[in-house]
């Protein structure tokens, strides 16, 4: 079985991300370390679990991003993926989900994948579009918001999360339909920590590097542009309590008493 997992890098400390002076993009401190987008980490783990059950499985990892993204590809390989592939873009340049999905489609169509997995969304842009757009471009069936996958007798059993905790238990024969794409919702497994030896082994492996303009001949453009970014609007004008922790705690108790929340 061939599995492709699409992942994205996310800064390790979201709270240290700021805005550029023109307020058109976010600014990530230079020494920032990156980790796998939380939702994508579940997707990698799900693929590795399938490989443990079906050893005749190859897992390819792909990412589209700046050169620093190679760390997350190595990490995914350390978790148990076989091959890594990167499409390098310029750092700090906005790429819309539509454009990223066009690049991923080019990669995904180079091999017959039975299963394509990706996180339901990225933690930074929160679009929840790329996976489904990739499925549409590949003319592949897809299921979004998946919280469980089991494969037995060539039937893939998938649980999809809906609103209010409702779950749909679905079945599909993926080998009859040229594969399926699943976008993974949080909490489906506990992504493993790669062992040191696995990480060293992954480090020794070569990651295939490609550039966007070498991969796709026509000039790809974004379908949307950012006019401005700003700190999220306050819904309530909150009062900040100042002082030492002791003073803050006392002030807090006073306010709770004033409002009759504490006796």
Query: Considering only residues 41-80, where is the footprint of another protein by CB under 8 A?
Result: none
**Residue selected from 187, 201, 208, 213 as contacting another protein according to rule CB under 8 A:** 187
Q: d(Cα 22, Cα 122) in Å, to the nearest integer?
A: 24
**Residue selected from 111, 154, 167, 208 as contacting another protein according to rule CB under 8 A:** 167
204 lies in the binding site for another protein (CB under 8 A): no
99 lies in the binding site for another protein (CB under 8 A): no
Region of 53-61, 81-89, 94-102, 208-216 interacting with another protein (CB under 8 A): 94-102
In the complex, least distance from residue 152 CB atom to another protein, rounded to whole angstroms: 13
The contact pattern for another protein, residues 216-255, with x = CB under 8 A and - = no contact, is -----xxxxxxxxxxxxxxxx-xxxx---xx-xxx-xx-x
Which residue matches tokens 């148990």? Answer: 80
Number of amino acids touching another protein (CB under 8 A): 81
DSSP string across 175-214: TTTT-EEEEEPTTSS-PPPPPHHHHHHHHHSPPEEEEHHH
211 lies in the binding site for another protein (CB under 8 A): no
Q: d(Cα 120, Cα 127) in Å, to the nearest integer?
A: 9
Q: d(Cα 226, Cα 229) in Å, to the nearest integer?
A: 7
**Residue selected from 55, 112, 204, 261 as contacting another protein according to rule CB under 8 A:** 261
Which of 47, 100, 115 is closest to 77 using CA atoms? 47
- What one-character DSSP code corresponds to residue 129? -
């Amino acid at each position: 079985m061939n599995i492709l997992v699409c992942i994205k890098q996310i800064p390790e400390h979201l709270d240290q991300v700021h805005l550029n002076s023109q307020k058109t993009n976010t600014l990530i401190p230079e020494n920032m370390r990156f980790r796998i987008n939380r939702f994508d980490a579940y997707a990698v783990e799900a693929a590795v679990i399938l490989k443990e059950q079906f050893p005749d499985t190859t897992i390819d990892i792909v990412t589209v991003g700046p050169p620093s993204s190679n760390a997350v590809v190595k990490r995914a390989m350390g978790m148990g993926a076989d091959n890594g592939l990167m499409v390098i873009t310029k750092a700090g340049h906005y790429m819309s989900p539509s454009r990223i999905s066009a690049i991923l489609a080019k990669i995904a169509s180079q091999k017959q994948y039975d299963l394509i997995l990706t996180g339901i969304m990225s933690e930074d842009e929160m679009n929840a579009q790329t996976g489904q757009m990739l499925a549409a471009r590949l003319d592949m069936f897809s299921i979004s918001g998946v919280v469980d996958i089991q494969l037995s007798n060539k039937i893939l059993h998938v649980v999809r999360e809906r609103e209010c905790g409702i779950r749909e238990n679905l079945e599909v024969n993926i080998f009859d339909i040229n594969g399926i794409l699943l976008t993974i919702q949080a909490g489906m497994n506990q992504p493993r920590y790669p062992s040191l030896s696995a990480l060293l082994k992954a480090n020794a492996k070569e990651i295939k590097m490609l550039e966007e303009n070498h991969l796709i001949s026509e000039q790809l453009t974004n379908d949307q542009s950012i006019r401005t970014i700003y700190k999220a609007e306050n819904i309530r004008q909150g009062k900040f309590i100042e002082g030492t922790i002791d003073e803050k705690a006392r002030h807090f108790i006073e306010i709770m008493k004033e409002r009759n929340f504490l006796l």
